[in-house]
Amino acid sequence: MRSGSELPGLETFRTGLQTSSGSEDTPFFLIGDPTRLGQILINLTDNAIKFTESGEVIVTTERVGNATRDEAGRVMLKFSVQDTGIGLTESQISKLFRSFTQADGSITRKYGGTGLGLAICKHLAEMTGGEISVDSVPGKGSVFSFTAMFGCQPADRERHLIPNADFRGMRVLVADDNAASLNILKESLESFSFRVTAAASGKEALYELRNAPEEDPFELILMDWKMPDMSGTEAAEQIKGDARLSRILFILMVTAYGREEVIQHAGNACTDAFLIKPVNPSVLFDTIMETLGQEVVRESRVPPVEIVNPEDLKHIRGASVLLVEDNKINQQVAAELLESAEMIVTVANNGREALQILGNLNFDLVFMDIQMPEMDGIRATDVIRSDPRFKGLPIVAMTAHALTGDRERFLKRGMDDHLAKPIKPEKLFSTLVRWIKPGPRASRKETQKKKTTMVCRKPCQELIFRPA
């Protein structure tokens, strides 16, 4: 769940939402399909954020049924994404999981497509041995839940998040004005064997610190950055400047905003490390251990993608690809595969953004979704084909429309090829080889015509399955 919990961070920064994640009695290492799990979680959390103007989005994980494995050594987990958004009526819910339908046309025009993504989520959940459901109250919010079956790792490979004996029982203070986030952080810290005190504000945190017994002081603080009355930064400055609190070893700043944004506004003189919400227990534990000077061993949980026709791909390494797609799941899956083939990937969220980017950067290939808000793929392709600068630029339709005759229809509208979703790696790679001309390539800096305000997509975080 690490990837699923981190990717929506930019949108929560823009909207000012609080995002939290927690787990109940779930193993840390499971055997399953992290890609499918990540796709479902990212789509559900992205939708929750999209339709929630204020409040919070909470992702939880819990074990289904009794606390033991079944006879086959498997365990079923339930994942829930709860929001305080616009909610859904019974009529809208009845249409949600149908392919090629939307809950409400006016919602689609305002927010972009969602129905197809939920239909894919339903299919993916069934492929993992589970099912998907939704409970909602119009105007109050929704809870999307799905179950999935996983195998369990042998007991000797389980990772237990318990520190060395020297740090067990360490006294920790956590301060956050969001009750759900505060409770989740407190439970996680207590599971590490720490003694935890919770504070709902910066002022309350200072009171707890200054009134702690001298023989039993706090040694670690987790402080939310954005709190009313007194921010985490202001509280941290007072803590560092108070000689009575010199026993406090470290302050970790926790924020729903981007790390760079926090540093820009707050600086890091009074903070030892940053954590971006929602924080899963494993990341929290590793960060604390590293802060305390303990060695942390990280292992990659994601096997490398098998490259089809490696010699052919070798000749097009470094090619620039524009991915035009409004769905965050599909952005992640496609971009991760393209980057594994050593392509330089730029993402546009709709046709209008794609045209702006094309005016500033050179590309060897464009993957174009069809249904997008603001400007769809057909209209964007019409504009591209009308501009002589882009003569010969290959455009590949990348859409879940796999109906008979769709490929021919897209070709007639100026596209060169069609790639069906869900994306199969071997088909994606063969498409790259088919349309990108082989040869040495200049760096992005050399091909950039002028400065652009569009931000190129950074490589995907590796997708790791852990309870959030």
- Does the structure show a pLDDT above 60 at 114? no
pLDDT tens-digit profile of 28-47?
677 888 777 877 887 888 78
Q: Which of 117-126, 293-302, 369-378 has the lowest mean pLDDT?
A: 293-302
Question: Looking at per-residue confidence, does 345 or 11 come out higher?
Answer: 345
Task: Return d(Cα 439, Cα 36) in angstroms, integer.
Answer: 35
Identify the residue whose tokens are 């919010």: 141
Locate 409 and state its tokens: 């229809």
Strand spans (E) along 290-446: 320-324, 344-348, 365-368, 395-399, 417-420
Closest CA to 221 of 236, 234, 231, 241: 236
DSSP-based helix, strand, coil % in the chain, nearest 5: 35, 20, 45
Burial code (b: 16+ CB inside 10 Å, e: under 16) for 135-147 equals ebeeeebbbbbbb
Which superfamily, per CATH, for 310-447? Response regulator (3.40.50.2300)
Task: Return d(Cα 78, Cα 81) in angstroms, integer.
Answer: 10
pTM of the model: 0.55
Q: Give the HSE-up count for residue 193: Cα atoms under 13 Å, Cβ half-sphere.
A: 12
Question: Which residues, 6+ apart, have CB-to-CB distance to 386 below 8 Å?
Answer: none
* Residue-level pLDDT at 25: 61
pLDDT tens-digit profile of 414-438?
999 988 877 777 788 889 999 999 9
Average pLDDT over residues 104-126: 64
**Checking phi first, is residue 25 left (phi over 0); if not, alpha (psi -120 to 50) or beta?**
left
* Residue-level pLDDT at 408: 78
* Residue-level pLDDT at 382: 94
Q: Is 142 helix (H, G, I), strand (E, B) or coil?
A: strand
Q: Which residues pair with 77 in a beta bridge?
A: 63, 148
Q: Are strands 56-63 and 250-255 parallel, antiparallel or unpaired?
A: unpaired
Per-residue HEC secondary structure of 28-90 comes to CCEECCHHHHHHHHHHHHHHHHHCCCCCEEEEEEEECCCCCCCCCCEEEEEEEEEECCCCCCH
Average pLDDT over residues 236-244: 85
- Does the structure show a pLDDT above 50 at 269? yes
Assign domain 2-157 to a CATH class: alpha beta
Task: Return d(Cα 357, Cα 346) in angstroms, integer.
Answer: 9
Longest CA span, the chain: 78
Start-to-end CA distance of the chain, whole Å, equals 6
- Does the structure show a pLDDT above 60 at 11? no
CA distances from 440 to 319, 343, 391 (A): 9, 13, 21
Q: Which residues pair with 79 in a beta bridge?
A: 61, 146
Tell me the DSSP string of 96-120: TTSTT--S-HHHHHHH---HHHHHH
pLDDT tens-digit profile of 305-363?
434 556 778 889 899 999 999 887 778 778 878 988 889 999 999 999 999 999 999 99
Specify the amino acid at residue 267.
G
Task: Return d(Cα 370, Cα 401) in angstroms, integer.
Answer: 9
Identify the residue whose tokens are 């979680």: 41
Q: Give the HSE-up count for residue 3: Cα atoms under 13 Å, Cβ half-sphere.
A: 24
Compute, in degrees rounded to 10, the torsion defined by CA atoms 421, 425, 431, 432: 130
Specify the amino acid at residue 82.
Q
Q: Which of 95-99, 137-141, 365-369, 415-419 has the lowest mean pLDDT?
A: 95-99
The domain spans of the chain are: 2-157, 165-291, 310-447
Q: Calculate helix-pair angle for 328-340, 425-435, nearest 10 degrees.
A: 60
* Residue-level pLDDT at 345: 94
Closest CA to 189 of 177, 203, 176, 173: 173
Closest CA to 327 of 421, 415, 419, 409: 421
Is-same-fold flag (165-291; 310-447)?
yes
pLDDT tens-digit profile of 32-88?
887 778 778 878 887 888 888 888 888 888 888 764 555 567 888 999 999 988 899
The hierarchical CATH code for the domain 165-291 is 3.40.50.2300
Closest CA to 10 of 270, 257, 274, 213: 257
Specify the amino acid at residue 302.
V
What are the counts of helices (DSSP H) followed by strands (DSSP E) for the chain? 18, 16
Specify the amino acid at residue 139.
G
